[in-house]
Amino acid sequence: MPRQIVVVMTDTQRYDMLGCAGPAGIRTEHLDRLAGEAVRFERAYTCQGVCQPARAAMFTGTWPHENGGWTNSQALGDNVKTLGQRFRDHGFHCAHVGKWHLDGGDYFGLGRCPDGWDDRYWYDMRRYLEELSPRERLDSRRTEYIRERPVTPEFTYAHRCSRRAREFLARHAREDFLLVVSYDEPHGPCLCPPEFLDRYENFHWPASPAHDDTLADKPEHQRIWAGEALDDTGWRERNHGTAAYFACNEFVDAEIGSVLEAVDRHAPGALVVYTSDHGDALGEHRLIGKGPCVYDGVVRIPLIVRWPGVTQIGRVAASPVSHIDLAPTLFDFAGLPQPAAFSGRSLRPACADPAVRVNETVFIEFGRFEVDHDGFGGFQPMRAAFDGRWKLAVNLLSGDELYDLDTDPHECVNRIADPLAADDRGRLHDRMLDWMNATRDPFRGHCWERRPWRTDARPATWPYTGMTRQRENEEYEPRQLDYNTGLPMTQATRQK
């Protein structure tokens, strides 16, 4: 039987924007059906709540701070290998249809197929725009266009991506393959046919206690981000998110449904993974969009895995998992040796038994935005750790955060200075610092440890912990040499 993998992803889709995951009243019948045939990970987290860094982690198996893609519009390092290259080199036919956002170009990409992927199916957003007339390009970037004339499915990026994905599945059903279908929807400008828009004209995203958060005890950069919303007395009642956004969420579900139908017809034994790159605050904590925070609305993402013969259908896994675990999971399914470069763990044990805990802690980071449509925020270095209950965020240039999601699921009470939480805070902090050393974080140093609330922090010294981490990429380059001996290193992470 051929080894076949289909990864489907969306852009800017919160974990609770699936009908099966939240009470909001949004319809996602096709993804709900997939969840009923698979395992849904209800505590899944992106590696960074911005498009490119999130994708950089997913498609390399390494952290954004490891691979160079820690901000938008910054290309991966030349020596960093994507899943397309790695699977291609193991004999897989690899196709990526849809948004890429990893070539260092603008939002739409450079229109050039990267190494490892089949150019016949490559379809980043630049290639889509190049199919359109100048007038159509302008219309494709205006949300108002959906109210000026009916948008046909054929006009949308989502529909054109789905068509190419179905063609690939029909033509290559007997091959080992990795197919990625990467939609831009429901990310703005949110174009979809009118029948979807009609259903959401009077829809309101449910208000929660998070909409009442004044950010009084939160980091300063979040208050700057919120801006005038801090003084808006009608914030809770306002419709956060647009009708077009939620309509496009249902529209992309329909497009995904057409691809899943093709998978069932042509590749019924395929591993199917569905996720999104990040979420959206939707007005919670007075914030709109995504950025330097660890609130669930932004960094918690949907994740469904259907692994024939392994997953227990219709189950929900409650332990925290991460996008960093996807690459090892795909390699595990394909029966391939795990590259030393990968930083995550295979989710196979949790797919087989959702009660199994794969990760003691998951980590989240942030660097900055820096892209043509995201010129704001500046440098906001953040590292965070979450163990399933406690969530710690160290904002290097601002205040820090600690939330107990068991007692405060809406993350309204910052307990960073609470002495009763000191033990849990210190435990998570130690794990975060160890993770930074173990994953070649170029920003690590004593400033991450010496926080105002960490009374037992080590003194500031120039060498700090004295730890080093050399790159491991033995499939593609020689073993790194130890600086002190000139001989091949025997341990990548070690004391110097």
Residues known to be catalytic: 51, 101
Strands 390-395 and 401-404: antiparallel
Q: What is the 3-state secondary structure (H, E, C) of 203-241?
A: CCCCCCHHHHCCCCCCCHHHHHHHHHHHHCCCCCCCCCC
Give the HSE-up count for residue 385: Cα atoms under 13 Å, Cβ half-sphere.
19
**Structure-token pair, residue 181:** 């279908």
Q: What HEC string does 404-471 produce?
A: ECCCCCCCCCCCCCCHHHHHHHHHHHHHHHHHHHHCCCCCCCHHHHCCCCCCCCCCCCCCCCCEEECC
Q: Which two tokens stand for residue 15?
A: 């974990």
Query: Encoding tokens for residue 296?
Result: 């669930």
Please return the burial class of 467, using the count of CB atoms within 10 Å of its CB with bins 0-12, 13-18 and 19+.
middle
Would you state the structure tokens that stand for residue 211, as one six-digit string?
């909409």
DSSP state of 70: S
- Cα separations (Å) of 212 from 12, 15, 228, 347? 23, 21, 14, 36
Write down the H helix ranges in 184-242: 194-198, 220-226
What are the CA-CA distances from residue 311 to residues 42, 89, 116 (Å)?
A: 15, 28, 29
Q: Do the Cβ atoms of 308 and 349 come closer than 8 Å?
A: no
Angle, helix 243-266 to helix 157-171, in steps of 10 degrees = 10
Which 8-state DSSP code applies to residue 338?
A: P
Tracing tokens 């996008």 back to the chain, one arrives at 323
